Amino acid sequence: MIKEDRLVQMIAEAALDEKASDVVILDVNKLTVIADYFVIASGRSNIQVRSIAEYVEKKLAEAGIFPTRREGYQEGKWVILDYSSVILHVFRQEERDYYNLENLWSDAGQVEIQCEA
């Protein structure tokens, strides 16, 4: 079993590999019971949003890790992959600006992304 701190880094790194922009990790474990971390990323279009989510899902599946829930693929404006302790939110920039999760969860600490070389 992969620890949450490694899982969150794997998700962020895969999103970056697929050219996601403005990738942010929020540590929300002291603020909510729904997850320990949120990974928030942006894509330039519906197609790129879906592509980022699909790539993350594929990379984690290669490690034997599968989401418990996935939402938003149909529209491609905001895709959510729920890995229990880590939830990935991939937005089109317009939706990210509108929902502004970073502001909503402003009490959460940001975690530095540590990509493997």
Domain hosting residue 16, numbered range: 4-107
Number of H helices, E strands in the chain: 4, 6
- In a domain? residue 114: no
- In a domain? residue 115: no
Return the CATH number at 61: 3.30.460.10
Query: What are the residue ranges of helices labelled H in the chain?
Result: 4-17, 46-62, 93-99, 101-104
117: Cβ contacts below 8 Å, ≥ 6 apart: none
- In a domain? residue 73: yes
Question: Residue 5's pLDDT band (boundaries 50, 70, 90)?
Answer: confident
Please give the pLDDT value at position 4. Answer: 83
Counting the structural domains of the chain, the total is: 1
Express each pLDDT in 45-95 by its tens digit.
Answer: 999 999 999 999 999 999 999 999 999 998 989 999 999 999 999 999 999
Express each pLDDT in 32-51 by its tens digit.
Answer: 999 999 999 999 999 999 99
The helix-helix angle for 46-62 and 4-17 (nearest 10°) equals 130
pTM over 0.75: yes
